[in-house]
Amino acid sequence: MQWNTLSNIDQLASIEAASFNKPQLILKHSTTCSISKMSLARLERSATPDNIDFHYLDLLNHRNISQAIAEKFKVYHESPQVLLIKNGECVYDESHGGIQMEEIVEQALQS
């Protein structure tokens, strides 16, 4: 899996703009949480779809970006958490054991 590291708050505008052409997935990951590590491993073991760009946020090192994501896309912060961005909006978010590649792909295919 090819992750794009999200480490600058300005990248959120680029992710939003890119979402009009291709779904964008943001994974908010806590490097000290075993559930977060399990969710990351589950995603990385899954077949990676070509029609989604994947962004990884180490939220312990970038809490300000995590907060900006919650505000910009109007979602309640959780960790671990995935957000699927399409046409500038969060159309799907899930956390903890609910993070499944199959569900992400299904949501990405919906209009």
Domains of the chain by residue range: 3-109
21: left (phi over 0), alpha (psi -120 to 50) or beta: alpha
Taking the C-alpha atoms of residue 101 and residue 75, their distance in angstroms, rounded to an integer, is 20
- What proportion of the chain, given as a percentage, has pLDDT over 90? 92
pLDDT of residue 8: 96
Position 37 confidence tier, pLDDT thresholds 50, 70, 90: very high
Looking at the DSSP bridge assignments, the partners of residue 5 are 56
Give the residue ranges of DSSP H helices in 46-100. Answer: 63-72
Please state which CATH number belongs to domain 3-109: 3.40.30.10
Residue 37 phi, psi (nearest 5): -65, -40
Instruction: Write out pLDDT tens, residues 47-92.
Output: 999 999 999 999 999 999 999 999 999 998 889 999 999 999 999 9
pLDDT of residue 111: 59
